Amino acid sequence: MGSALISGVCFFLLLSPFPLAFSERCHPHDKKALLQLKKDLNNPYILASWNPNEDCCEWYCVKCDEKTNRIYDLDISSSVPDTNLSGQIPPSVGDLPYLEFLTFHKLPNLVGPIQPTIAKLTKLRSLFITNTGISGPVPDFLAQLKSLELIKLSFNSLSGTIPSTLYQLLNLTSLQLDRNQLTGPIPGSFGSFKKPGPDLTLSHNQLSGPIPSSLGTLDPQRLDLSRNKLQGDASVLFGSKKRTQILDLSRNLFEFDLSPLKFPPKSLIWLDLNHNNIYGNIPLALTKVENLQQFNVSYNHQLSGSGLEDKCIFLVRIRSDPTIWVHSVRIRPVCSIGGAHEAHEQESIRPKTPELSRQITLSNALALEVGPRRRTLDAPLAGTFWRPSWGYGETFPTPQEIKKKLEEQKSYEKWREAAHQTTTHNTLL
């Protein structure tokens, strides 16, 4: 009789439409921390799925590990700026001990400093806080998070100097602190990063002083120091044996001779040196760079193209048909290409539409002007077929910039998923 009753109860429970407590995957410790985090952020709409009566592994913005059922990914992001979410980063974020990926994105009313309890997240691999109202310094405690591979703190209101201790992060592959209000020099200790060193994006700040010579010992694929107040010699960042893909030193106060510098012939795709005090001649070594897509040396008034007259100007010898900006650089008229000399006398070429797809034959170049809201051609450009990439200055990104952003986003999503799978596999082993 007793066994029959128990069997009947079990059968009823299996058919019951009500969820059973023991079927929930979510770890109670993680669930408690998440609900506190939601409360501290004033119960924003973006976290509406965080129902305490439901399994937190099924909530939006979080991911549970399939083996341990612990929260390893917290991603509170909005496709458009979300003003409904307000407050500071809650201290309870530090109560998710298995967290590997932490993201706050496009939350303009998320304010205050970077939460100190993040230092408790010893498994953290990616810290991604962008387009928020976060302020205060880049915290020193980040150097304690030895598993960090990516730090992206872009488009915030961070101030103060860059911590010199970040070089202690042996697994760091990318450090992005751009578009803040950071001041002071680039730490000399950055030359001590584990080689080849992380990609560095420090642009759109107020960094000043010379770059440390030790930075030349690193070999990042991407180095963006643009729009700061950096000065002095940056020639240590160049070299034919480096693996540099993107090097942007534009809008600083750098002063060095470009003439003798060498460039990576295979990897370099983006070189921007505009608005500095660079001098010398544009080197013919650039003609050996096979995949260059953008080259900009505009507004370096002491930079010259002299010495290239007898070789047909380098612009048309770069094999990948790049976007090349040379406004306010002295380049003398040179020979035409392929035996066909077509001396164009137009004052300018101004497209009526944003894109100009037809090829244009140009020769005897003086300069390619880049205006504040359009690109115009103020004298025929040396060479043969030239495809100008028409744009509208900073208001709209160029096609190359759009493509680069999309590739970065896709690459990050793939990395985040692959990185967690690798960690899970190694843990099980």
* pLDDT 10s digits, 296-320: 888 888 888 654 444 434 443 444 4
* 333 and 377 Cβ atoms separated by less than 8 Å: no
Average per-residue pLDDT for the chain: 77
CA angle, residues 212, 218, 220, in degrees to nearest 5: 120
pLDDT digits (tens, 9 = 90+) for 243-285: 999 999 999 999 999 999 999 999 999 999 999 999 998 888 8
State the SS3 of 172-236. Answer: CCEEECCCCEEEECCCHHHHHCCCCCCEEECCCCEEEEECCHHHHHCCCCEEECCCCEEEECCHH
Give dist(CA 241, CA 205) in Å, integer. Answer: 29
Domains of the chain: 24-134 (3.80.10.10), 178-319 (3.80.10.10)
Give dist(CA 342, CA 348) in Å, integer. Answer: 16
* 331 and 356 Cβ atoms separated by less than 8 Å: no
| 360-361/385-386 β-pairing | antiparallel
Q: For residue 321, is it left (φ>0), alpha (ψ between -120 and 50) or beta?
A: left
The two three-digit tokens of residue 149, written as one number: 């591979």
Given this model, what pLDDT does residue 83 score?
A: 81
pLDDT exceeds cutoff 90 at 103: yes
Give dist(CA 77, CA 62) in Å, integer. Answer: 11
pTM: 0.77
Dihedral sign for Cα atoms in the order 370, 374, 380, 384: positive
The two three-digit tokens of residue 151, written as one number: 């730090």
The two three-digit tokens of residue 184, written as one number: 């002071």
